Amino acid sequence: MFQPAIFRIEDIETMHQLMLDHPFATLISSQNGHINADHLPLVLHPELSEKGVIRAHIAKGNSLWLERDNSMEALAIFHGPQAYISPNWYPSKKQHGKAVPTWNYAVVHAHGTLTFKTEDEWLLEHLVEISKRQEDDREDSWEVSDAPQNYLAKQFKGIVGVEIEITQLVGKWKVSQNKDKLDRAGVQEGLKLEDTEGAFLISDMVQQFSK
């Protein structure tokens, strides 16, 4: 990933927070000479290693399992908020016209070696955790124990766990750090008028990372 120094994020906690807030990610791996991409909810466990451990589950019909390699290198891409930036939002554009459109975004790349988990205990613990993280804030939350045991047993037969101990984290926050104070303020105001969740989040990030 092209990563100019001004947009580089190295703080692990900052990157972890994005991964927790945006768990639906792209898992990329190389199998038998071809590139494979899966789109999965990935569960970050920051407490399990220095840079964290990612856990997920896939169907046993997935080529990731069928063509498995026990030493497979993987890259998980966590996509944070993103938004189009109009040059009309820059006050400086009115002065000299030297402005072009761009895109603001935040993203984390997590690298590591992929291993598979087939133990029922591991799968149950993982499913309980992923459900808990998504259901806890709901008034009528669902729990794994709500499903019949025999039904769960059948489901377990069709899935396999995936675990990646993160060896490298790369973060990029492109949120107008390369613009002056007035243009950043213009970007914030323009984004707020867009009235979308992504635009609001990026507007907050522009303010957070302003000089």
Which residue ranges form the domains of the chain, and what is each CATH number? 5-205 (2.30.110.10)
pTM metric for this prediction = 0.92
Mean pLDDT, to the nearest integer, of 160-183?
A: 95
In this prediction, residue 58 carries a pLDDT of 96
pLDDT tens digits for 62-88?
999 998 877 789 999 999 999 999 999
In this prediction, residue 171 carries a pLDDT of 97
Percent pLDDT > 70 in the chain is 99
Task: Specify the residue for token string 């991409």.
Answer: 37
Q: Residue 93: is its pLDDT beyond 80?
A: no
Which amino acid is residue 6, in one-letter code?
Answer: I
What are residue 35's phi and psi, to 5 degrees? -90, 135
Residues 54 and 48: their CA atoms lie apart, in Å, by 9
Average pLDDT, the chain: 92
In this prediction, residue 45 carries a pLDDT of 97
Q: Binning pLDDT at 50, 70 and 90, where does residue 210 land?
A: confident
In this prediction, residue 145 carries a pLDDT of 86
E-strand ranges in the chain read: 8-9, 24-31, 34-41, 43-45, 53-59, 72-85, 102-117, 159-174
Task: Assess contact for 170 and 154: CB atoms under 8 A.
Answer: no
